[in-house]
Amino acid sequence: MKTVRSLPARPLVRALCALALAGAVVIPSSAQPGGAPGQPGQPPAGGAGFPGGNAGGFPGGAGGARGGAPGGPGGARGGRGGQIPTGPAAPVPAEVTIPRPTEAELAQLNSAVNQFVASNPLAKKYASLISVTPPRAVNPAATFTQSNVRNAQRHDAFVALAQKGDIDLLFDGDSITDFWQNAGKPVFDKYFGGMKVANFAVSGDTTQGVLWGLKNGEGQGFSPKAIMLMIGTNNATQGSTGPEIAEGVGAIVMEMRKDFPNAKILLLAIFPRGAGPTDANRLKNIEANKLIAKLHDNKNVFYLDIGDKFLQPDGSIAREIMGDALHPTAAGYEIWAAAVKDKLAELMK
């Protein structure tokens, strides 16, 4: 990946605006690098005694929600195992597509930046403060890639349930949705027990895992009236940027529209997480939410942000609502269900 030459911050408003318009990401050099190759550095996640890992640190969900699949391994921090090769890229809606500069545009940017640095003493002095890097050409979050947690046991059970049909409402996502089948089971029974619901969410999963599942049998054989989707928080902890998460969510929505053309999709904003409003992964999710909100068309896709309902006035999350500042307790699931029940009932008519 090409990197545009470093520049100082304050006197470069025009140059950096041009770079931003070209799809580049501006990262202070003090924040680089912090993760695996190709991933932006980040400050430590979590804090205040709360874990900063994946949404999947509890045991896998038990069978429930109208014949849900047998509980899979939640595992520590989402049950992640060895490296899985990245699958083929998925189509992404224009509303959330990251602008990516061409080779010619990068060459032009480099030329302009070099000229500026050569002519500006202040730029020469502080050239190491800022690096400008284009977005990744291939976004793993928007690929059909099987995750370790969406393993054969769980995936095959979902496919078998899909082939039986007779599903009116589909839940999909990660552990936060998966755990409707254990921590949220009493609340599920209260609000959704009389419906034909299938829960294909998997503890520890990512956008690419959901995409792979849909492409490989979880999106065929039935025609739900409505879908409740929330996914992306694990991508944040695995190095994805907010815009990359949004591309992954958008790709899922596009795949669901293809697989279930008659379904109404309730697209939930990714829930808040972490000790407070400055939590690094919460900020990524907020950035992603601002982008996926553009997918709302009030016809087939209905975006809904209920995140504030889980927060205290200071932006923290009470342990009574999310015991680890990530996974809802029974009280958290009660808040969730009360916030979506009327909308889901409307979409299923």
167: CATH? 3.40.50.1110
- Give the range among 116-130, 154-168, 272-286 with minimum mean pLDDT: 116-130
Mean pLDDT across the chain: 82
How sure is the predictor about 36, in pLDDT bands with cuts at 50, 70 and 90?
Answer: very low
Domain assignment of residue 50, yes or no: no
Q: Does residue 37 carry a pLDDT above 50?
A: no
What is the H or E stretch that residue 161 is in?
helix 152-164
How sure is the predictor about 77, in pLDDT bands with cuts at 50, 70 and 90?
Answer: very low
SS3 266: strand
Domain assignment of residue 22, yes or no: no
DSSP 8-state code for residue 24: -
Rounded average pLDDT over 272-283? 97
Rounded average pLDDT over 20-46? 35
Backbone angles phi, psi at 30, to 5 degrees: -70, -15
Give me the active site residues, please: 175, 324, 327
Q: Does residue 92 carry a pLDDT above 80?
A: yes
Structural tokens at position 89: 């890229």
In sign, the C-alpha dihedral spanning 154, 328, 50, 241 is: positive
Report the pLDDT value the prediction gives residue 22, as an integer from 0 to 100: 39
CA dihedral (311, 317, 322, 325) in degrees, to 10, reads 130
Percentage of the chain surpassing pLDDT 70? 75
Domain assignment of residue 338, yes or no: yes
How sure is the predictor about 55, in pLDDT bands with cuts at 50, 70 and 90?
Answer: low
Structural domain including 218 reads 76-90+140-347
DSSP 8-state code for residue 217: I
Report the pLDDT value the prediction gives residue 2, as an integer from 0 to 100: 41
Domain assignment of residue 117, yes or no: no
Residue 240 near residue 211, CB atoms below 8 Å:
no
Q: What's the CA gap between 122 and 105, in Å, rounded?
A: 25
Backbone angles phi, psi at 145, to 5 degrees: -125, 120
Phi and psi based region of residue 326 (left: phi greater than 0; alpha: psi -120 to 50; beta: remaining): alpha
- Give the range among 117-126, 164-173, 233-242, 260-269 with minimum mean pLDDT: 117-126
Report the pLDDT value the prediction gives residue 188, as an integer from 0 to 100: 98
Q: Does residue 48 carry a pLDDT above 60?
A: no
Domain assignment of residue 209, yes or no: yes
Name which residue leads in pLDDT, 268 or 133. Answer: 268
- Give the range among 110-114, 206-210, 302-306, 326-330 with minimum mean pLDDT: 110-114
Domain assignment of residue 9, yes or no: no
CB-based burial of residue 300 (10 Å sphere; 0-12 exposed, 13-18 middle, 19+ buried)? middle
SS3 27: strand
Number of domains within the chain: 1
Report the pLDDT value the prediction gives residue 133, as an integer from 0 to 100: 76
Entry pTM:
0.79
Domain assignment of residue 97, yes or no: no
SS3 199: strand
pLDDT per residue over 62-71, tens digit each? 334 444 433 3
Domain assignment of residue 165, yes or no: yes
How sure is the predictor about 115, in pLDDT bands with cuts at 50, 70 and 90?
Answer: confident
Percentage of the chain surpassing pLDDT 90? 67
Q: Does residue 285 carry a pLDDT above 90?
A: yes
SS3 170: strand
